[in-house]
Structure 1
Amino acid sequence: MAGYTNKFFKYWYNSSTIEDYLTILTNENPTSHFFSVDFLKKYCEEGFKGTVRWVKKPILDMNSILFPINVGNHWIIIVVYLKSKAVVCYDGKHRNHQHILSKIKTFLTDWENHSGVQPSAWWTLHGTTPTQYNNDDCGPWILAIAKCVALVEPICFTEKDIPQLRLQQYQSIMSNTMQLTTPTPRTTPYITMQLTTPPPKTTPINTTQSDTPPPRTIQLNEIQSTTTATTDEVTTQIPPTITAITPAPTIPHPTNSTENHKTRNKLYVSKNTKRRNRRTFYKTISNTHPTT
């Protein structure tokens, strides 16, 4: 923002500043339209076919068309009044720019032929403006003129009003810049959930009529008939069902199985037994036949 302050109060206006303010001005006043700073240069280089795509609005239905042009580091503005068919040049230095007026007049004739409209008799002139005595205020000067043209007001400011005009133009551009750069806050809608719980079932209490029958007196003969009827009835009892539980077959553990074991012979003698028997035999022989 400090850079913008220096630009608005100390230095010249560049093309982006001029176009930013004219964009705001024409948006607020749709009956006016402006062309880019480079439009006339593009028209002189490429002709009508190279600039026809730049025209995106029905300019012949407007009240005024604005052409900001920089001539030798000096800003001027050309205003086309559609109703009076006049092409007017506004310059604070009061210089002659007839060659520029002729080019814009040629463009308007080409556009009328392109739109299928009978060409008009355009006439050109230099408008009356306050005199600019310094070389620094041409930018705010043409913007102040553009505002008077868009609002259809007389051009009656002076050089003393330039500081106040700079401030107004600065505030307009900065307020529009803040609106464009400020993001819209995201709002998360509240989700309302309606819990549909069925109402509890309640039995209405009838206070007028009772469902229970009134007590009645039982006669002796009714008791006797009921007793005989119950004794005559045969009550059959269904025996309870008994489910037999069969145990699961027992499978011997592989270590306890005798399939892999070899059955020993009854006459089997172990090696130790044979060794003891052999020693005993040798001792017996040595005792019976002693050596001499």
Structure 2
Amino acid sequence: MYGSLIPLRKSDVMRHLKRKFNSDFSDWKNIILSEVARYQTEITEKPVPSFRVVYKKHILTLEDLSTLADQNWLNDQVMNMYGELIMESSHLKVHFLNSFFHRQLMTKGYDGVKRWTKQVDLFSKNLLLVPIHLEVHWCLVTADIPTKKICLYDSQGNALQKVARNILKYLMTEAKQKQQSAFEDGWTVSYDEKIPQQTNENDCGVFVLEYSRCLALSRPFQFSQKDIPKIRTRIYKELCDCKLHEED
């Protein structure tokens, strides 16, 4: 189901067997867990190269998914498909811009990205999420459309106001092009300092996805660095299942 048994927990296996066979396997628990351990060892030594997840226009290989293991840096494929799942879970009231958007905006200006919203009315959304990749670091810029508030979320505490203002300038130009005069001015830009922070150099991408999830689903930031391994596993499984899960 997940291309590997590594992220699978014991409770997942027991729940699946109980549902599959309509029987309590508690007496078989030790045998089952020994089999799980054996398969974990085999799959680690010989991964399944053909495994992949296909969802809409997104394709994730096992190599992509492996960026969620340990303290690896997340790649754009993982970032963008998870953004798609966030949009679906918000009933399309949240729009997640592709992780390549900001780079394209910076290199080619508004003309380089104006077609990205050809089928989307940003100003009808409640929230815009823009993942920003700054060479070796991920951060997040959000735009609360109804209140015209732009905010920067950075897990390393960097107040990169310029990045947020790039999105401000884009939205003002987009409003003018789409004849949305109410959104051509009146925006405010802020930086949220009271957010969970990373304590290493590797988890910024995971923090961006968890910020995005919480904001899109109107949930408080109730996580910290110690929760990141569990969050990585949950994201892995959500990507394979092509849907967000309720919190455990």
- The TM-score bracket by the shorter chain reads 0.5 to 0.7
Q: Which residue of 1 aligns with 2:168?
A: 105
Query: Which secondary structure does the structure 2 equivalent of 1:73 belong to?
Result: coil
Following TM superposition, by how much is the alpha carbon of 1:66 offset from its aligned partner in structure 2, in angstroms?
0.6
Q: Which runs of 4+ in 1 moved over 4 A?
A: none
Q: Which residue of 2 aligns with 1:147?
A: 213
d(CA) in 1 for partners of 2:109, 2:135:
22
**1:9 paired to 2:69:** yes
**1:32 paired to 2:98:** no
Query: Which secondary structure does the structure 2 equivalent of 1:69 belong to?
Result: strand
Following TM superposition, by how much is the alpha carbon of 1:72 offset from its aligned partner in structure 2, in angstroms?
3.0
Q: Which residue of 2 aligns with 1:161?
A: 227
State which structure, 1 or 2, has the greater radius of gyration over its C-alpha atoms: 1
Amino acid at match of 1:90: Y
d(CA) in 1 for partners of 2:94, 2:78:
18
Higher helix share goes to which structure? 2
- Structure with more contact order per residue of length (Cα contacts < 8 Å, sep ≥ 6): 2
- Structure 2 unmatched ranges of 5 or more: 5-61, 244-248
Q: Percent identity?
A: 23
d(CA) in 2 for partners of 1:82, 1:155:
21
Query: Which secondary structure does the structure 1 equivalent of 2:220 belong to?
Result: coil
Q: Which residue of 2 aligns with 1:175?
A: 241
- Structure 1 unmatched ranges of 5 or more: 178-292
Q: Which residue of 2 aligns with 1:126?
A: 191
CA shift digits 1:44-84 (9 cap, x unpaired): 22222221111121110101001111113111111111122
Higher strand share goes to which structure? 2
- Give TM-score scaled by structure 2 length: 0.68
Amino acid at match of 1:143: L
CA shift digits 1:163-201 (9 cap, x unpaired): 111111011101129xxxxxxxxxxxxxxxxxxxxxxxx
- Give TM-score scaled by structure 1 length: 0.58
Following TM superposition, by how much is the alpha carbon of 1:113 offset from its aligned partner in structure 2, in angstroms?
0.5
**1:72 paired to 2:138:** no
d(CA) in 1 for partners of 2:137, 2:223:
19
Between the two proteins, the alignment pairs up a number of residues equal to 177
Amino acid at match of 1:74: H
